[in-house]
Structure 1
């Protein structure tokens, strides 16, 4: 059993982010879900396609802790169309009941113990930057990153952070872009 009360805005933003790594191809049904967990005063949303994984947290009122693997598209679409701000989620057995104002829906869930374990991230290379600084670095290099999924090794960007210098590099196999940004904000 699980019972959560949260804002539509927080839940919608979390689902938007977490849905980025949901498997759209449908090779395994559990990979098309978002793992919704309520624990220690936080709501955690996890998703993976077995190549990439995303975990995001937001605050909520946790009346009862629990975890459910919810079909991502159905869950996200329903939350996006809710008109009211407060959302109550009740999970029982294999059913998730979502209430908001006069709206109510039930979504059948998959067994949460089938959801793949997310690898632990080693904290040896953790840093924090403001969104504005991060956006400036990406703006200088993102045009050269390939949008082609057939070559995932070059579809991202490489960031090197040392002191007050942030270096970003991206390539699509033909172009190479490098952007260096000096900032007063030290990476921590």
Structure 2
């Protein structure tokens, strides 16, 4: 095998794929990239057995087609120190030797045979598909990944649920304290179908989306998910189980509606949170007469803090408790400049949503209250 490839293009793709490889692989071959050369197409694959991701790069083929497994460490460490330039790869498949030639240097190391590398998982049976504009999918994942649970006892909640109905596509995540729902009204299905995308796979897809403007194609059967975005393909297992009925926990009758600048509120919460109890992180939120009054204290260390934030509200006063660190996490993952906070009473969840929703979307975040 011999081919010429742009160093910057190769590094960009390898950095994305390197996040797939786990440091807990049970199969040693899973610690390697799989390079497959066919004509002018170089396909690079990385896998942790649950998730397989590959990318395709245009190269100049100077020899025969072939395959080789390459350890990420040597390859990435060398490429990171090279500027943007053409690189010549010369690979001897008889002894797995690899030589990389740059403008002023040459680097040699040993690869590995590829027979043990697992085959690419294929979808089977009834396959459903959806197409999502990449900017909208990026926004949806950005607003839901933070609320994914990290609980082995409830694995179904450790991913992002894609709930496709006859009315819309809903991206949903919850850890039982926080819930986030991002609705795309223009993407629908003739029948109600859903799948749960694992957190790691969702993060990998999000990393690819930041530079894409086209559509992401997602296909799925009853066990696996196939996602294609430009030069990247990801295949992973679905999380098995039934996702909680998330709509039933979203209060519909919320007479208290407060409009506030998100960044002003977030900055004030961050400052006051320094004074809250490290264990409970309880913050009192009092709303009345155009002001949100935030207060927190840690009795053990005789520390307290309070701050006012201007808002638009002229109804009855209410006081409610929230976990400060969850408030910060939630508001940090919203993108709107002004938000609406909807409340009913101090025992029911608070709903946070953009004042002006982007066209064709409805974003909503929910936070459970704390006893005060």
What range describes the TM-score normalised by the shorter chain of this pair? 0.7 to 0.9
Coordinate RMSD, CA, aligned: 2.9
Summarize deviations over 1:112-164 as a string: whole Å, max 9, x none: 11212221245933444333121121232122024678976543312245689
TM-score (norm. length: structure 2): 0.45
Cα distance in structure 2, aligned partners of 1:147 and 1:87 = 42
Deviation at 1:72, TM superposition (A): 1.6
The alignment status of 1:167 with 2:170, answered yes or no, reads: yes
TM-score, normalised with respect to structure 1: 0.83
Separation in structure 2 between the aligned mates of residue 126 and residue 99 of structure 1, nearest angstrom: 43
- 1:1-188 to 2 correspondence within 5 Å? 2-25=1-24, 27-63=26-62, 64-92=64-92, 93-121=95-123, 124-146=127-149, 153-160=156-163, 165-183=168-186
Q: Secondary structure of the residue that 2:22 maps to in structure 1?
A: coil
Verify the 8 A CA contact 1:154 1:170 in the aligned structure 2.
yes
User: What is the alpha-carbon distance in structure 1 between the residues aligned to residue 71 and residue 78 of structure 2?
Assistant: 11
Distance 2:87 2:150 in 1: 36
Aligned partner of residue 115 in structure 2, secondary structure: helix
Compared with structure 1, are the counterparts of its residues 150 and 77 closer, same or farther at alpha carbon in structure 2 (3 Å cutoff)? farther
Query: Which of the two has greater helix per residue?
Result: 1
Which structure's CA Rg is the greater one? 2
Structure 2: gaps of 5 or more residues: 188-213, 218-372
The question of whether the paired residues in 2 share the 8 Å contact of 1:84 and 1:100 is answered with: no
Q: Which runs of 5+ in 1 are unaligned?
A: none
Which structure's relative contact order is higher, taking Cα pairs within 8 Å and 6+ residues apart?
1
SS of 1:113 mapped into structure 2: coil
Cα deviation 1:45-93 (Å, max 9, x = unaligned): 1111112111111111122211100012221222222124211111103
